Amino acid sequence: MTIYTFVFFLINVAPSLQVRFSVIGLDLPLVIHPGEDAVLPCHLSPKINAQNMTIRWFKEKYQNIVHLYQDRGFRIENQMAEYRSRTTLIKDSIVVGSVSLIIRNVQPSDSGLYTCFYNTGSFYEEAVIEVKVAGQSYTFYSENIIMTSLFSHIQPLRNF
């Protein structure tokens, strides 16, 4: 191989040997009531096997680890204390790049931006999901949800 063909290889062929993908989360905020479980889905396009990737879920900042999947398993070491024993990663479809993070018993303090970050070692991509725990703020949207839940409790009385 001449130096010219080697440079040609580096510029034109090497990048295409890397695995590339985009990560898809949710377009709309996930609205949940306090005490319920949140299910945050993320998947890859195209559908690539993510078993050997690192999948890091973090809140707001990269260092704030909510759940870390690495070396084919859950890594507890740097998980934020407030998520201890509250998260499960559903990996049934990880061979097609799809996972869901379950956060149990959500509280208003769990509201915020969650990122799922997939890393192959040579390529990474991420998606952000917004979680809103209803009842924490007085925006029209969350009031609307509170009203809906009030009416759903009142509804059975109308049957009498």
Ligand X SMILES: *[C@@H]1O[C@H](CO)[C@@H](O)[C@H](O)[C@H]1NC(C)=O
Closer by beta carbon to ligand X, 52 or else 122: 52
Minimum separation from the CB atom of position 49 to ligand X (A): 4
Which of 122, 112, 115 has its CA nearest to residue 57? 115
Place of tokens 């993070």: 101
Other CB atoms within 10 A of residue 69 CB: 22
- Residues with Cβ within 8 Å of 3's Cβ and at least 6 positions away in sequence, in order, are none
CB 77 within 8 A of CB 90: no
Q: Does 122 sit near ligand X (CB under 6 A)?
A: no
Least Å distance, CB 89 to ligand X, is: 17
Tell me how far, at minimum, the Cβ of 157 lies from ligand X, in Å.
56
49 binds ligand X (CB under 6 A): yes
The answer to the question of residue 137 lying near ligand X (CB under 6 A) is no
Binds ligand X (CB under 6 A): choice among 45, 52, 78, 122: 52
Token pair belonging to 159: 């049957």
List residues near ligand X by CB under 6 A.
49, 51-52
